[in-house]
């Protein structure tokens, strides 16, 4: 059984502001509260290979991994997957940005993964964790992107 999450939030900002800010990987430590650093290793066209390092967890453990992320501006979608998988057999995430009929941009993250047998948590436990944490991070991103959009038009 694999893990799967599907979360979205509507951000009240122009599409290009949402797209540019959320796809600026080197700036992710300013956008996400969980990342201590984001180091670009290689960039080729719309694909970026990068290392994310988290702040220490409650046990002092620092998690770090390498991911590959390709953005498709014409469809406003992004596909990413971990290259260094750590406790995951695999971890893939798809981002989609769509204009809401009532205004704003819906940013949706769909994550598919499977934990290794020796991982400290099961697929179900990781699903619960990701669903909780994703909502926190999405809300933070919404606040920061909306503030930046207001500053641009202010």
Q: What pLDDT digit, counting tens, does each position of 9-64 carry?
A: 999 999 999 999 999 999 999 999 999 999 999 999 999 999 999 999 888 889 89
Percentage above 90 pLDDT, the chain? 90
pLDDT of residue 124: 97
Predicted TM-score of the model (pTM): 0.94
pLDDT of residue 57: 84
Provide the CATH number for the domain around residue 66.
3.30.530.20
Contact 94, 4 (CB under 8 A): no
- Domain of 79 in residue numbering reads as 3-153
DSSP state of 55: P
How sure is the predictor about 144, in pLDDT bands with cuts at 50, 70 and 90?
Answer: very high
Q: What CA–CA distance (Å, rounded) separates 6 from 112?
A: 9
Q: What CA–CA distance (Å, rounded) separates 99 from 106?
A: 6
pLDDT of residue 8: 98
What is the bridge-based pairing of β-strands 3-11 and 64-72?
unpaired
Our count of domains for the chain comes to 1
pLDDT at 133 over 80: yes
Query: How high does pLDDT run on average in the chain?
Result: 96
pLDDT at 154 over 80: no
Q: Work out the average pLDDT over 103-129.
A: 96
CA distance from start to end of the chain? 49
């Amino acid at each position: 059984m694999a893990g799967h999450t599907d979360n979205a939030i509507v951000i009240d900002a122009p599409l290009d502001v949402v797209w540019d800010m959320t796809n600026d990987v080197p700036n992710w430590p300013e956008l996400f509260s969980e990342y201590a650093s984001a180091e670009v290793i290689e960039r080729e066209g719309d694909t970026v290979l990068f290392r994310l390092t988290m702040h220490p967890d409650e046990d002092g453990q620092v998690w770090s991994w390498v991911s590959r992320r390709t953005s498709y501006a014409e469809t406003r979608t992004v596909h990413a997957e971990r290259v260094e998988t750590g406790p995951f057999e695999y971890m893939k995430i798809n981002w989609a940005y769509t204009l809401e009929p009532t205004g704003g941009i819906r940013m949706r993250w769909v994550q598919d993964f499977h934990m290794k047998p020796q991982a400290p948590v099961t697929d179900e436990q990781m699903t619960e964790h990701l669903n909780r944490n994703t909502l926190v991070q999405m809300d933070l991103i919404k606040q920061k992107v909306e503030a930046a959009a207001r500053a641009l038009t202010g």
